[in-house]
Amino acid sequence: MQLQDTVRSEGSSSNTETINQRGSLAGTSKGNELATAQTFEIGQPENLRTRYRLIREFSEKLSETLEPEDCVVQTMPEASPVKWHLAHTSWFFETFVLKEALPRHNPIHAQYAYLFNSYYNAAGKMHCRPKRGLISRPTLRETMEYRRQVDGIMDAVFEKPAILEKFAPVILLGLHHEQQHQELILTDIKHVFSENPLRPAFCERSTPKSAPVALASWQSFPAGVYEIGYKGAGFHFDNEGPHHRQFVEPFQLMPRLVTNGDYVEFIEDGGYRRPEFWLSLGWYTVNEQRWEAPLYWEKRDGNWWAFTLAGMRKLDKDEPVCHVSYFEADAFARWAKARLPYEFEWEVAVADLPYAGNFAENRSFHPQPLDQTATRQPLAQMFGDVWEWTSSSYSPYPGYAPAVGALGEYNGKFMCNQYVLRGGSCTTSQSHIRKTYRNFFPPNARWQFTGIRLARSLA
Positions touching Fe ion (CB under 5 A) are 118
Give the nearer residue to Fe ion in terms of CB position, either 346 or 441: 441
Residue nearest to Fe ion (CB): 118
Give the nearer residue to Fe ion in terms of CB position, either 407 or 452: 407
d(CA 427, CA 71): 18
CB distance 318 to 370 below 8 Å = yes
> Hey, how many other C-beta atoms are within 10 angstroms of the C-beta on 48?
19
444: Cα separation from own chain's centroid? 16
Instruction: Kindly state the smallest distance separating residue 88's Cβ from Fe ion, in Å.
Output: 6
Instruction: Kindly state the smallest distance separating residue 177's Cβ from Fe ion, in Å.
Output: 6
d(CA 60, CA 46): 22
Give the nearer residue to Fe ion in terms of CB position, either 174 or 423: 174
Give the nearer residue to Fe ion in terms of CB position, either 182 or 252: 182
Give the nearer residue to Fe ion in terms of CB position, either 86 or 192: 86
Q: HSE (CB half, 13 Å, CA atoms) of 116?
A: 27
d(CA 326, CA 345): 17
d(CA 218, CA 345): 14
Cis peptide before 138 (omega within 30 of 0): yes
Instruction: Kindly state the smallest distance separating residue 78's Cβ from Fe ion, in Å.
Output: 13
Instruction: Kindly state the smallest distance separating residue 115's Cβ from Fe ion, in Å.
Output: 13
Instruction: Kindly state the smallest distance separating residue 304's Cβ from Fe ion, in Å.
Output: 34
d(CA 1, CA 75): 36
* DSSP state letter for 97: I
Instruction: Kindly state the smallest distance separating residue 138's Cβ from Fe ion, in Å.
Output: 18
d(CA 171, CA 92): 9
CB distance 49 to 161 below 8 Å = no
Give the nearer residue to Fe ion in terms of CB position, either 118 or 450: 118
Instruction: Kindly state the smallest distance separating residue 90's Cβ from Fe ion, in Å.
Output: 11
d(CA 101, CA 119): 22
Give the nearer residue to Fe ion in terms of CB position, either 113 or 338: 113
Q: What is the DSSP annotation of 83-107?
A: HHHHHHHHHHHIIIIIHHH-TTPPP
